[in-house]
Structure 1
């Protein structure tokens, strides 16, 4: 039996424009690496319609049954659900632990009104729809404008991110039911059978994600966004083949520091390793150093290289333009995420940004959680065409 008091304090998800809330939850799952396509989304919405959209447990089990494709998806689903709806799994009987970071909460409506009777316990956590709506609004907020509680919630959502490069065909092959005939395995099978007829053995190319290289600007002009972008980079490092460098007045490789499982420990280690927080910006010189020391030797070859910067350059813009051309010749794709791009009337007039833009394949925003989700989609090749807005920006 469901606790009636809890049911009385919930606000139906659909009453709060809940399709947007549920779709936002599915977007967060996609950003975490789940293959939650349109068919699964529609199945999820139908399942929620059949159950009670305002009940945390019902939304949890509806999503788990329709959006998870296998055992590997369950851990990601749990993390995203906890960050988005403010509960652990489908447990509706526990309140959110007191030690948990603060999150914005709106009071739910009482079903029958009036004060609680003496001895009546508090409802178990904030209403599902309230927290979900809060998370959906937060997705589109500029990181620079968030208060401490909203930043804490943003950091929890960023933990569930996954960043994978576009897949490529490897030279390696694996056994497969369909594909080219594998002569060695076929001959070995014939010899094992003493020359008797045997089924042809086949193999196919292995598809692997491309390496992703993140160059994160930690200069003074990027200070409002640097921590969120580095937490995004931390989730990317944990998720796959990703290398991370910070750029400011120095170039620092921080992949090892970001490999810590705990994001707070990773940020502490990174703070100790990076000497040029909130300094100037020497993009051209540092990009040349990256290419000479790592990129030319193979790190950037065939990779997806992402620069997260506002493009302010204290050095020679022509040097930056020349190094961007070198990078573009080596990389499979060059993506530039600029938090300032979302501001009304923005145009890439800064000397560094204007010099770099001709060598950029996709120029996207980087100011909010939703913008980072779109960036992740561009990196994995899901919407690179939609993100290519250079022509409009030049005009």
Structure 2
């Protein structure tokens, strides 16, 4: 590996030598990237440590795993010379800005050498802290890098599908006495009853229906909510139905059954004709109940409505349809992203009309609240409306 070259000797040689060091460190340094790096530095101040750092990071790094190796190579190569050694040091000694959340939470690369245990512990704490902060951030206020990281966290969710008792009976430790199995066991033991066999009702997956508002007011949350729906559908594809609501009703269950989330979201976007449009919750809810709900989709199901409650149509119609839905479903949960914000009050016309017929009103503005929603969906209790 070549020795560092000071700026006064030959700036170009120093910069090219730095790229050679990066190539030895395992980075994929091509001629095009070296040319881009030199062109970027030519437009900046070569004596500025911060500008040189970011010029190289943006042109020479192609993978998150390259960042730790790049930082170490930069620190070693551009270390200011000691007093009396000659040469001109880089005058800007400020540390480069810390990486974004997505970089903090990225895993370590394979080519990275092992540092001390303190460095590993510091990286682990940064990763845990970043995930925890992101869990409570409002979905509408995330940066592009944070949205990308949120997509990976959503893919890691493992929801437990709600269960319901079946009419079929199966052998169990507790439950009803099973006379037939008890007598058959006694015959095998010479007529002696040694154990009282029992049976109980088996459980089956309870149907789940997700109604996601894709109107203009819900556009900042629509992408994350559809990805959340994709996770739920992939967990229980046979018992989950997903519809989008706005000015019309659109069934997107088939599109969300695709394994790849990106392909599923792309197909869902092509299937939705009223994306970022208006809201007619009463009419759309009536269409759902007439075509799907009363024919079996909503009967004894957990129905979740994702909407902020802004209704352009008749609020009395929405209230009557919510009453119909409550009579059909096992549980009706309304998820309003604004319900988790300070000072929120359920004063929107749609929320006021639907509130008496809901089991729960939840906030859905963050990953933490969506995790809470999964717990509510899995629980078997109904009850009166509550706010969380």
1:142–1:368 Cα contact (<8 Å) kept:
yes
**Partner Cα distance (2:197, 2:252) in 1:** 45
Aligned counterpart, 1:237: 233
Question: 1:352-371: per-residue Cα shift (whole Å, max 9, x none)?
Answer: 12111111110010100011
2:330–2:382 Cα contact (<8 Å) kept:
no
SS of the residue aligned with 2:309?
Answer: coil
**Partner Cα distance (1:120, 1:307) in 2:** 47
Structure 1 stretches lacking a partner, 5+ long: 1-94, 108-118, 391-395
Question: 1:149-174: per-residue Cα shift (whole Å, max 9, x none)?
Answer: 10011111111223345432211111
Aligned counterpart, 1:283: 281
**Partner Cα distance (1:290, 1:239) in 2:** 23
Question: 1:68-111: per-residue Cα shift (whole Å, max 9, x none)?
Answer: xxxxxxxxxxxxxxxxxxxxxxxxxxx96569xx853459xxxx
Aligned counterpart, 1:160: 156
Aligned counterpart, 2:358: 360
**Partner Cα distance (1:326, 1:97) in 2:** 54
1:165–1:304 Cα contact (<8 Å) kept:
no
339, 346, 364: which is aligned to 1:348?
Answer: 346
Q: For 1:1-395, what aligned pairs fall within 5 Å after superposition?
A: 103-106=101-104, 121=113, 127-164=123-160, 166-186=162-182, 193=188, 196-197=191-192, 201-240=197-236, 241-381=239-379, 388-389=386-387
Structure with greater contact order relative to length (CA < 8 Å, sep ≥ 6): 1
Aligned pairs, number: 282
1:105–1:130 Cα contact (<8 Å) kept:
no
Offset at residue 147 of structure 1 (A): 0.5
The CA RMSD measured in Å over matched residues stands at 3.1
Q: Relative to 1, partners in 2 of residues 1:194 and 1:365: Cα closer, same or farther, differing over 3 Å?
A: closer
Q: Relative to 1, partners in 2 of residues 1:386 and 1:291: Cα closer, same or farther, differing over 3 Å?
A: closer
Report the TM-score when normalising by structure 1. Answer: 0.64
**Partner Cα distance (2:359, 2:206) in 1:** 16
Structure 2 stretches lacking a partner, 5+ long: 1-62, 68-99, 106-110
**Partner Cα distance (2:161, 2:331) in 1:** 10
**Partner Cα distance (2:371, 2:264) in 1:** 22
Question: 1:309-334: per-residue Cα shift (whole Å, max 9, x none)?
Answer: 11111111111010000001111111
